[in-house]
Structure 1
Amino acid sequence: MRYRQITGAALAGAVFPAAARAHVSEQGFVLLLPTDIYIAAGVGCVVLTVLLTVFLPVRAVHGLFRPFALFRFRPRGRAITGLLATLLLFWLIREGFSGPHDPLSNPLPLVIWRIWWLALVSLQGLLGNLWSWLNPWLVPVLWLRRQLGLRTLIHLPRAVMGWGAVLGYLAFYAFLLADLAPSDPDHLARVILIYWLAMLMGGVILGPRWLLRGEAITVLMRSYARLGLFGRKGAKAAMGLWGWQVLRQPVPGYAAAVFMLILLGSGSFDGLNETFWWFGLLGLNPLEFPGRSAVVAPSIWGLLLANAVLIAIYAGAVALGVRLAGQRGSGRFFRLFAPSILPIALGYHIAHYLTVFLVDGQYVLKMMNDPLRNGAELLGMDHYHVTTGFLHTESTVRLIWLTQAGAVVVGHVVAILLAHALALRAFDTPRRAVLSQLPLSIFMVVYTFFGLWLLASPRGM
């Protein structure tokens, strides 16, 4: 069986060179690594973390997430950086319409899919709320409302706006997975322009609250900002363990909680739909892949089904834990523990896209070397040739895979500690807090195995 997987991965690399550039080419080496041992070690680390929470004193758990102040901080200049981000977005849209048709040369797909989606989303969760300085809607909305003398024309309830963000994010991920050419510069420019205008109108009509609660991209970034190492504690900048800001914020609403869950569900399906297992389920041969047009419908229903299953399992685990702890009202705890899923989602996001970033990041640097295509050599990379040699060497592939596996495991470890800290604040005794976490901890252990299995599985797309 192992030999057939390795052979299949090697053949897939020959048949699908574009996909192999980012995924399949290193899978031959990954399958040669003792991945079973690494997976067992990762799962064991998460299990030990679960056991640790049983014996950790309450003070120690709270101490893990206690931030320390750094310096007095007054955020200024966000209007300037927001305006610059808006101007940059419009320049990128213009480049999408008039620039090179090659997605690996045109600045628009490189910036959107590599700098924003891969790098900035990851940094948002690792460091803190960078998006508040880069939001391309806030300055235009505030300016238009001031110029027109508008007040909020329609007052939508917070929950309605929140569910709008949920639907918007599912639509975004469906575009990413099922659209026939999500990186085509013309097509991408058109989609981004329409979306930007629609959200601008929403902000003008519904008020700035729409951008914070109903616009899917901003809600995505604000969700991950809850995890960041850096934040604010009163009037000072502060730093703490990933997730410390979650403990200082109110319990999210149902829409916000579901949004956090679909971050994990969508990211997990993004990896699952590339595996040989998924192709076999669809009755397709990954070595004779007919093209994205053949999997549009399966990608969409698979995305929806994956999220529905994840939400159902999570809700069941929370409800069972609440019953074990002798409490009622599982709905509140569904919302309370939802932010603890964020570290898992972020860890898998980083792991899933690491190889793509290592390869396509080189194209980003080449683009930045001469962004206006006027012969400039800002980075001295005019004669640089993009390499994938590190995906063909066992030592570097081992390092990449261990980094990916580490991101998944660390995400689960932080999630378990964060969920336990939340439980200690919600239940009157440590015993009840531990009991409430047993089903959710089992869920996280199983998901660790699932995430590491995804990383080690051969891919054919």
Structure 2
Amino acid sequence: MVVAGAGAALAHATEGGLVLLLPTDFYTAAGASAVALTVVLMAVLPEPVLARIFAPLLLLRLPRTRAPEITSMLVALVFLSLVWTGLSGSRDPMENPLSLGIWTGFWIIIVTVQGVAFDIWRWVNPWAGPVSMLRGLGLRPVLHLPVRLGYGPAIVTFLAFAAFLMADPAPADPGRLAVFGGVYWLVNLLAALIFGPRWLRRGEGITLLMRSYARMSLVARRGGRLTLGLNGWQLLRGRVPRGGWAVFVLVILACGSFDGVNETFWWLGVLGVNPLEFPGRSAVVWQNLAGLAAANALLLGIFAGTVKAGLMLNRSALPLAEAVRLFAPTILPIALGYHIAHYYTAFLVEGQYLWAMLEEVAGNSHQGHGHGDHITTGFFNTTETMRRIWLTQAAAVVVGHVIAVMLAHAVALKVFGGARRALLSQAPLALFMIGYTFFGLWLLASPRGV
């Protein structure tokens, strides 16, 4: 896994070896069949039933609060202290709080909570509080962020983050991570001061990623009320964003997919690298950057072609750009499901290190014991535990695709009206989602050489 302590996680060769012993072909076929059956079910399911499935429940009324600005300030201070620790502390990613905090605490845990449960980013955004405080001191934007740029700046900044994650020779190295993270935070803080808070909505890639996944969460604040619904319900009830956001959603999926592809024996074979004698990430930096760019271009082209085929089958006059804008958000469950699956094994290991470090900070650890003393990776060493781990990962991928199929059909019913027209428009997209299920499960089962 390309996360903090990646070397530690992948040092357990039994993990990959035992996965290769599992009947993953059977599991993959079963997962893709579940998605295909969902497509068939959508074809016969009455529209009111689908509407009820995604109907949210209104819970308690929530008071207005400025507490998120306070917590954002605190998180910004914690982040800056972690950057300093990254520059001055241990070079071991499993010992340095910066690497664990960013790659495990944020990239694995907080992103998952954001997409599955609730909008935690509202409370931990490290820019919102500082920007609000500085504006309160009288600082005002000096430039207007051009509307014609759309979400282009956010796409660029997110791709910069993805490139560091997947192509940098050592993204978990505390020193390298401190420089990248510190510069990234400062540049976006200055941009938010120059262009105003709008930069955090349309220019900063991590914030837009988190705002996108917030639309997938079970719980949300709507009209001053706490509201609960099936993951994805907000995508059917919120305002459809501009086309640039749809492109950003596709970029999320493309980057997440390549984050798995670039570790496989297949990819190393394409590059002409012997995976059993891998020379190190520094030998494939430019190749991974090219692969990341190609993955994005390929997915954008395939998705646009799929949507266009659906419009042609349906004989719809709906412009392609508008159709992509409407249907692209429905693939967010796929991106989130694969993110969870891809990083699950890393979470099982690095999560223990993070918990132990938090215990030490809280003063609960026994004096004189390093926080790695109680870390275990024994669950990678038996076929039964690896079967459970792999099936959990596969379930995340399959559930994501099932929800995506349901959302896409619900959107099609809204756009095209009748069930027959909706079905025709969704046939190519449904095939795309079934095929992507095979692809996602193949990635999980593929041997890895990085």
Q: 1:54-69 maps to which residues of 2 (within 5 A)? A: 54-69=43-58
2:184 maps to 1:191? no
For the 8 Å contact 1:227–1:343, the answer to whether it is kept is yes
Q: Secondary structure at the match of 2:90?
A: coil
Code of the aligned partner of 1:334: V
Code of the aligned partner of 1:364: L
1:345 matched to which residue of 2? 335
1:212 matched to which residue of 2? 201
Q: C-alpha separation between the residues in 2 aligned to 1:371 and 1:110?
A: 13
How far does residue 193 in structure 1 lie from its aligned partner after superposition?
A: 1.3
Q: 1:145 aligns with which of 120, 135, 138?
A: 135
Q: C-alpha separation between the residues in 2 aligned to 1:440 and 1:228?
A: 23
Code of the aligned partner of 1:356: A
How far does residue 349 in structure 1 lie from its aligned partner after superposition?
A: 0.4
2:320 maps to 1:330? yes
Would the alpha carbon gap of residues 363 and 451 (structure 1) be closer, same or farther in structure 2, given more than 3 Å must change? Answer: same
The unaligned stretches of length 5 or more in structure 2 are 1-5
How far does residue 161 in structure 1 lie from its aligned partner after superposition?
A: 4.7
2:187 maps to 1:202? no
2:420 maps to 1:431? yes
Q: C-alpha separation between the residues in 2 aligned to 1:60 and 1:19?
A: 44
Cα deviation, 1:12-49, whole Å, max 9, x if unaligned, reads: xxxx9745247x53121111111111111001000000
Q: C-alpha separation between the residues in 2 aligned to 1:102 and 1:253?
A: 43
2:249 matched to which residue of 1? 260
2:276 matched to which residue of 1? 287
2:397 maps to 1:408? yes
2:437 maps to 1:448? yes
For the 8 Å contact 1:21–1:359, the answer to whether it is kept is no
Question: What is the TM-score when the length of structure 1 is the normalising length?
Answer: 0.93
For the 8 Å contact 1:128–1:226, the answer to whether it is kept is no
Two-structure CA RMSD over aligned residues (Å): 1.7
1:12 matched to which residue of 2? none
Code of the aligned partner of 1:97: L
2:143 maps to 1:154? yes
Q: C-alpha separation between the residues in 2 aligned to 1:238 and 1:122?
A: 19
How far does residue 341 in structure 1 lie from its aligned partner after superposition?
A: 0.7
Q: 2:28 aligns with which of 39, 59, 69?
A: 39
For the 8 Å contact 2:9–2:346, the answer to whether it is kept is no
Question: What is the TM-score when the length of structure 2 is the normalising length?
Answer: 0.95
For the 8 Å contact 2:145–2:198, the answer to whether it is kept is no
How far does residue 387 in structure 1 lie from its aligned partner after superposition?
A: 1.4
Q: C-alpha separation between the residues in 1 aligned to 2:383 and 2:64?
A: 46
How far does residue 149 in structure 1 lie from its aligned partner after superposition?
A: 4.3
2:287 matched to which residue of 1? 298
For the 8 Å contact 1:368–1:379, the answer to whether it is kept is no
Q: 2:157 aligns with which of 165, 168, 171?
A: 168
For the 8 Å contact 2:71–2:129, the answer to whether it is kept is no
How far does residue 180 in structure 1 lie from its aligned partner after superposition?
A: 1.5
Of all paired residues, the percent bearing the same amino acid is 52
For the 8 Å contact 1:369–1:379, the answer to whether it is kept is no
2:91 matched to which residue of 1? 101
How far does residue 145 in structure 1 lie from its aligned partner after superposition?
A: 2.2
1:49 matched to which residue of 2? 38
How far does residue 159 in structure 1 lie from its aligned partner after superposition?
A: 4.7
For the 8 Å contact 1:100–1:106, the answer to whether it is kept is yes
Cα deviation, 1:277-318, whole Å, max 9, x if unaligned, reads: 111111110111111111001100000101110110000010
Q: C-alpha separation between the residues in 1 aligned to 2:366 and 2:417?
A: 58
For the 8 Å contact 1:25–1:391, the answer to whether it is kept is yes
For the 8 Å contact 1:368–1:378, the answer to whether it is kept is no
2:101 maps to 1:114? no
Q: C-alpha separation between the residues in 1 aligned to 2:131 and 2:23?
A: 54
Q: C-alpha separation between the residues in 1 aligned to 2:235 and 2:407?
A: 8
Q: Secondary structure at the match of 2:406?
A: helix
Q: 1:379-390 maps to which residues of 2 (within 5 A)? A: 384-390=373-379
Code of the aligned partner of 1:71: L
Q: Secondary structure at the match of 1:370?
A: helix
Q: Secondary structure at the match of 1:197?
A: helix
For the 8 Å contact 2:379–2:385, the answer to whether it is kept is yes
2:364 matched to which residue of 1? 377
Q: 2:60 aligns with which of 58, 71, 92?
A: 71
Q: C-alpha separation between the residues in 2 aligned to 1:75 and 1:27?
A: 49
2:344 matched to which residue of 1? 354
The unaligned stretches of length 5 or more in structure 1 are 1-15
Code of the aligned partner of 1:391: F
Q: C-alpha separation between the residues in 1 aligned to 2:87 and 2:64?
A: 35
For the 8 Å contact 1:53–1:420, the answer to whether it is kept is yes
2:310 maps to 1:315? no
How far does residue 198 in structure 1 lie from its aligned partner after superposition?
A: 0.8
1:28 matched to which residue of 2? 17
2:264 maps to 1:275? yes
Q: C-alpha separation between the residues in 1 aligned to 2:310 and 2:433?
A: 13
Code of the aligned partner of 2:424: L
1:81 matched to which residue of 2? 71
1:5 matched to which residue of 2? none
Q: 1:178 aligns with which of 163, 167, 170?
A: 167
Code of the aligned partner of 1:417: M
Q: Secondary structure at the match of 1:458?
A: coil
For the 8 Å contact 1:158–1:213, the answer to whether it is kept is no
Code of the aligned partner of 1:459: R
